[in-house]
Structure 1
């Protein structure tokens, strides 16, 4: 069981990816990859982290975010998942 995770975060996180693709490009590429390899048993998913990673935070603690990634890998499903509401 293979999973490729694409993580979208606030500025400063994933700067190497941000230099290569803008946010829309990253999402479009990930969605295209998700659709292209799904029949091969490979899941591509995107986790959007709307603000900074913060130890001890109920939604942005590293362990909570790792739980989202693990859930994306084990339960698969939709391409895009959000760590928290975008308005939070």
Structure 2
């Protein structure tokens, strides 16, 4: 029962912080969404181009990759492909 109450308190705090951020800086959300969309499209096209070239390195499109692209932008995109190349060795 205590864990449920604790989880509810955390959820309410996160929602409150989100509302405060949206009220003061709505451009942050738009910036995040644009970076996530452009990064996801970049992953899709670079995976396609690398596949045509015969390389076996591919970064899948999932929640983690979209989140890292949205939060980090181009450095997140490079990080994902750097990790993919590292683990393909």
**Greater C-alpha radius of gyration:** 2
TM-score (norm 2): 0.31
Using structure 1 for the length normalisation, give the TM-score: 0.31
Which structure exhibits the higher relative contact order, with contacts defined as CA atoms closer than 8 Å and separated by 6 or more residues? 1
More helix by share: 2
Normalized per residue, which structure has more strand? 1
